[in-house]
Every structure is written in structure tokens, then in C-alpha cells.
Amino acid sequence: MKTRYFPALYLLIALSFQSCKKDKEITYGDAPEIAFVSISPQSVMELQDSITIVISYVDGDGDLGENNANINNLFVTDTRINITYPFRVQQLGPDNPDITIKGKINIVLKNTGITDGSAQQSVTYALFIKDRAGHQSNTITTGAIMVHK
């Protein structure tokens, strides 16, 4: 009789130890990390339609964004012509927070033009962000959109 219950007892003990394990905490470094979420619309009229780029971010020490209007911290490069446009992301966390912050940022480009003289052209953008300590994020590239005359 005792040997019949041994496998069930063993399983019960194993499950109780399994439930005591701590979940692995994810830690992030001091440099912000960004990821491409979306770009829209997929087709724009040259020099007329605005373009919205959405990125997600995570910053391990929470010092992303800037309250000083004279400091740019987000940089968007038109990959066709290698021109970089600076933007400012407002401060996203309190001063000296030392906490991980996560979220999404919408970047609106007023418009774009065709750079090669054709009737339509594909464009992508490369982006990176810097935190208040000067740590630079990874660089990401958007999906392509089409610009039409």
C-alpha cells in the first residue's frame, strides 16, 4: 500500500518546491532601449501629408526626456539623404528617479518630399534617443512608406 502513494507524494513535494521559485526579474541598463512600433500612413502626398512614427522605450534609470526646451534628445534621420532632424521629448520621469520607465512616443513629421525627381519614392527613417545623462539608445529603422507627387 505504501508504494502506491509514493509517486503521488513525490509529485506533491516537487510541485511545492516549484511554486517557491522566484520569478526572474528583468533589469535594464542605464542607456535607453527603443523599438519600432509603427509608421503611418503607408502612402503620403509629397510636401502635404504628415507622418507619424510610434516607438516604444524602456529606460532602466528613468532619466529619459528633457524639460529644457533648448536641448534635443530624439534624432530622426531620413535614410535617403542622410539628413537628421532633432526633436525634444519632454521629461518622462521625476528628477533622480532611479526607476525603470516604459512607454510609447509618437513622433510627427510635418511632411516629406521626393528626393530623386521621380513620381514616387520609398522612404525609411532611422531613430535614436539620448537620456539626460547622455546615454544613447540603440538605433532603429522604421518600415518603409511611399511618397507620391
Kindly list the structural domains of the chain, giving each domain's residue range(s) and its CATH number in brackets, ordered by start.
25-148 (2.60.40.10)
Report the chain (149 residues): mean pLDDT per 10 consecutive residues: 52 48 64 97 98 97 93 97 97 84 96 96 98 96 97
Residue 115, Cβ neighbours under 10 Å: how many? 13
Q: How far is CA 97 from CA 30, 50, 60, 66, in A?
A: 12, 35, 10, 14
* Rg of the chain over all Cα atoms, to the nearest angstrom: 24
The tens digit of pLDDT for each residue in 69-107 reads 999 999 999 999 999 999 999 998 888 777 899 999 999
Q: Global pTM?
A: 0.81
